[in-house]
Amino acid sequence: MKVLVLGCGLIGRTIAQDLAKRHDVTVADNTESALDSVPDLETILFDISAKDYLKRTVKNFDLVICAVPGFLGFETLKSIIEAGVNVVDISFFPEDALSLNDLAVKNGVTAVVDMGIAPGLDNLILGHHDSLMKVDSFECLVGGLMKEKYTYKAPFSPADVIQEYIRPARMFENGKVVTKRALSDPQHVVMKDTVLQAFNTDGLRSLLTTMKHIPNMREKTLRYPGHREQMIFLRDSGFFTKENLESTSKVLFDSWKLTPEDDEFTFMRVTIKGGTDRHVWEIYDETDLVTRTSSMARTTGYTCCAIAEAVLSDNEFGSGILPGELIGGNQRIFSHVISFLEERGVKVRKC
């Protein structure tokens, strides 16, 4: 099958390299240096925001993987759907992907969205349990961190990370949508022998619409203690305002840039409760020391690849905008994703 990967960052590159083992993969990006990182693959250098050219290009492929920065994500996804091509999307954009559902149905497009680790794998886990039990609460704690304690580097765009720190965090409490300031409600979380700090971020996204029957839902980001306080200082000092965001991102890019030499890890804990039932899933993954592939690229990229394979093979999903919670109830698909990850060394453990 012919697959086009839009975006050749750390995660897009990992997706392309995995899918290329089984399919004819082309990678598109607007930066030559990024495309140079995949010398064995076909590449296209172009500005992805050029919508007419994008639509003409994607029509030559069976599936598109959208791995562009968040600020490009919604319009890129819309263009792919308008072109009538199936897509799996990992871009973390602020707009509501579900607003494109009618367009996707009209054009007969399968558009699986938010298909990384979180959102993504956690949504699949929730959908899996929601099909088997009455769920009363859902909590996701997730973060990508350096193994060197108390340092932080971003495995994706610094601008997207900053958005997590300024976008109001929405959650369900006792059946009602509650909005709190990002970085609020800090709590300590013990991971193995390490103490991390969790705080509110706006990670529920589609769950606020598709899972309204679950009275309590929240997502929190994990960082080392001290990072939250630094971000609050920058935010409250005006560095994250619309006027200063671009310059702040450029400054942070240098200090936050994740290099192939950096050792990092990704940790996620999903807790689902209903009545007397309690289910806890944990994912812990580290940088691959042989390939130097980051854990965030592995956990996000391979989840995306697993769903891409399902779309390419028998595509049981139908048309429309499909976040993970709407397909996790398919037990065959859910088992396929877990097995796909574990075959690549990403351990998904049910505690």
Give the pLDDT score at 246: 86
> Rounded CA gap, 145 and 265, in Å?
5
Establish if 236 belongs to a structural domain. yes
Give the pLDDT score at 347: 93
Query: Is 68 a residue whose pLDDT tops 80?
Result: yes
Same domain, 256 and 138: yes
Establish if 351 belongs to a structural domain. no
What CATH number should be reported for the domain holding residue 247? 3.30.360.10
> Rounded CA gap, 26 and 45, in Å?
11
Establish if 285 belongs to a structural domain. yes
Q: What confidence category does residue 16 fall into, taking pLDDT thresholds of 50, 70 and 90?
A: very high
Same domain, 340 and 211: no
Give the pLDDT score at 121: 98
Q: What confidence category does residue 36 fall into, taking pLDDT thresholds of 50, 70 and 90?
A: very high
Strand 187-191 relative to strand 194-200: parallel, antiparallel, unpaired? antiparallel
Same domain, 6 and 90: yes
* Residue 263 CB-half CA count within 13 A: 5
Domain extent at residue 156 = 121-294
* Residue 8 CB-half CA count within 13 A: 25
Give the pLDDT score at 125: 98
Dmax over CA atoms of the chain, in Å, equals 55
Query: Is 272 a residue whose pLDDT tops 80?
Result: yes
Lowest mean pLDDT among 39-48, 193-202, 220-229, 253-262: 253-262
% of the chain surpassing 90 pLDDT: 87
Cα of first residue to Cα of last residue in the chain, in angstroms, is 37
Establish if 61 belongs to a structural domain. yes
Same domain, 83 and 181: no
Q: What is the pLDDT of residues 126-152, one digit of tens each?
A: 999 999 999 999 999 999 999 999 899
Q: What is the pLDDT of residues 87-135, one digit of tens each?
A: 999 998 989 999 999 999 999 999 999 999 999 999 999 999 999 999 9
Same domain, 111 and 135: no
Q: Give the 3-state secondary structure of residue 9.
A: coil
Same domain, 153 and 197: yes
Give the pLDDT score at 57: 97
Q: What is the mean pLDDT of residues 180-194?
A: 95
Query: Is 314 a residue whose pLDDT tops 90?
Result: no
Closest CA to 201 of 141, 152, 137: 141
Same domain, 155 and 207: yes
Same domain, 125 and 110: no
What CATH number should be reported for the domain holding residue 330? 3.40.50.720
Give the pLDDT score at 250: 85
> Rounded CA gap, 88 and 323, in Å?
10
Same domain, 281 and 302: no
Task: Answer yes or no: are the C-beta atoms of 265 and 144 closer than 8 Å.
Answer: yes
Task: Answer yes or no: are the C-beta atoms of 31 and 12 closer than 8 Å.
Answer: no
Same domain, 149 and 287: yes
Strand 137-146 relative to strand 110-112: parallel, antiparallel, unpaired? unpaired
For all residues of the chain together, what is the average pLDDT?
Answer: 95
Question: What domain count does the chain have?
Answer: 2
Same domain, 207 and 268: yes
Lowest mean pLDDT among 151-165, 267-281, 314-328: 151-165
Same domain, 142 and 102: no
